[in-house]
Structure 1
Amino acid sequence: MKLHSATPTSETIAAYGGGLLRIGADAITHSVVVVAGKGWSPWSCPSFAEIQPAHIEELAALGVGLVLLGTGSRQHFPHPSLCRALFERHIALECMTTAAACRTFNILVQDGRDVAAALIMEADSAEQAG
């Protein structure tokens, strides 16, 4: 499903589904981190099951106030011990499906929020954002 923002930016998530993410003109099939006002970059976390403290440390180093963690086609919650780097820096963490994280990210960017979305992409996912 296409996701639209009233005022598109370079980090607006235009669409998500079928293992494909569109940010601006870029078509992406791997996990990414999207930061409000800064665009996107690849994220080394291939799946929720493989999240390590180092992956969370990458997110904590972004210096945002809120991280949305898109956990794939199903909502999962990492063990609190994995999230220590975020909690120590008083960075909020919200976990949801990747589709929900895409929609929520666009809304928060429109509201001018200091947010990042860490989106886990699943190659075999046929889920559509909507």
Structure 2
Amino acid sequence: MDLNLELPEGYLFVRRVGEHGVTLIDRELTDSFLLAPDRVVEHWEVREAGALDATHVDALLALQPELVLLGTGTRQTFPAAAFIAGFLRKGIGIEVMDNAAAARTYNLLAGEGRRVVAAFMLPA
């Protein structure tokens, strides 16, 4: 049996998720960040879901998502209702999950050509 490594093309993808970092293709990021299929916004100032409020919505909307995946670290933690409402008012779906689940879901949707944006929160 022949085994061949085939890497996804045409979008940025998550290769690995750890407790303190996320590897995009071949580069590990250890600060919170935003990820769209065509770009990464590094050094996002949010470290935990409790810090999110309506003022953080614009940074994600600037990436023009049709769906937002919110990775809240090693555990799923819901942000304030005002944060979620900022997306719902614009007709944009938002899902809250741990970072590993967010990475898997992001890779699947980005691979399908969807305009998905994932926010990954990593501890300081």
The TM-score, its normalising length taken from structure 2, stands at 0.84
Within 2, Cα distance between the matches of 1:90 and 1:73?
28
Within 1, Cα distance between the matches of 2:52 and 2:86?
13
For the structure 1 residues 80 and 49, does the alpha-carbon distance in structure 2 shift closer, same or farther, using more than 3 Å as the test? closer
1:25-57: per-residue Cα shift (whole Å, max 9, x none)? 321101110002x22112221222211222222
What does residue 39 of structure 2 align with?
39
Within 2, Cα distance between the matches of 1:55 and 1:11?
23
Matched residue count: 119
Structure with bigger gyration radius: 2
Which aligned runs of 4 or more in structure 1 are off by greater than 6 angstroms?
none
Query: Is the deviation greater in 81-90 or in 106-115?
Result: 81-90
Q: Which runs of 5+ in 2 are unaligned?
A: none
Q: Could you say what secondary structure the match of 1:63 adopts?
A: coil
Quote the offset at 1:83 in angstroms: 2.3
The TM-score, its normalising length taken from structure 1, stands at 0.81
Q: Does 1:27 align with 2:28?
A: yes
What does residue 127 of structure 1 align with?
none
User: Does the 8 A contact of 1:57 with 1:86 survive in 2?
Assistant: no
